[in-house]
Amino acid sequence: MRGCSHQARCMFARAFASALVVTALTASVVAAQGVKAASMATQPLQNADLPTRVAHVRALLKATPVVDGHNDLPWAIRETKNNPRDVIAYDLRATPQGMTDIARLRKGGVGGQFWSVYVPGEVKDSGYARIELEQIDIAHQVIARYPDVFATALTAADVRASYKRGKIGSLLGMEGGHAIENSLGALRAYYDLGVRYMTLTHNVTLDWADAALDVPTHKGLTAFGK
């Protein structure tokens, strides 16, 4: 630019800047087109109609079933107004009384189900263990009452085997470590009864673990909790 006037240098700078902007915009458009093309390649049903998408989902569910990690049906049976704790009266084949019934489990492609054997941390009428055992019993009754639908599962392999037989592999999950009443012996007993997961807390802080909705006292977990 040596020997050029100030006006010429300004015109050149503006032209150069404009060229950079055009180049950047072109690169962005090309990149966007590339992303769109890649998206179309990996999502071939992106623009398909609803029936086609639903059929695709059904095909996926036949190959890879849904595993639901938490279902409060045992507590719903316990708390039902007309026949509390009565598994027979709470008919999963009849008109739905709650959020769970066999027809919807089948329609949703559920192949594995963790039944929550929940016990409120705020109960005062007895120890947690009694209610926990009753909830485990309710879950066992549900599984046994519909042998053509549910099958007891203790491992992932059990769930896969149950699904191949057209059944829903059924496991148990405990919601809140308060149910062990500070006893590892109780924890082992629950495991022997089929429980395969236990959350650390629910709504209340324990002697060995802080709960998010209660006053923290341990800065997380105690040595026992760990």
Is pLDDT above 60 for 24? no
Residue 12 banded pLDDT, cuts 50, 70, 90: very low
Contact 94, 136 (CB under 8 A): no
Instruction: Please give the pLDDT value at position 37.
Output: 52
- Model pLDDT for residues 61-115, shown as the tens digit of each residue: 888 889 999 999 999 999 999 999 999 999 999 988 899 999 999 999 999 999 9
Rounded to two decimals, the pTM is 0.78
> C-alpha 136: how far from its chain's center?
21
Sign of the C-alpha dihedral, residues 189, 193, 194, 195?
negative
Q: How far apart are CA 26 and CA 9, in angstroms?
A: 26
| Alpha carbons within 13 A on the beta-carbon side of 11 | 5
Q: How far apart are CA 57 and CA 61, in angstroms?
A: 6
Q: Are strands 195-198 and 66-71 parallel, antiparallel or unpaired?
A: unpaired
> C-alpha 105: how far from its chain's center?
15
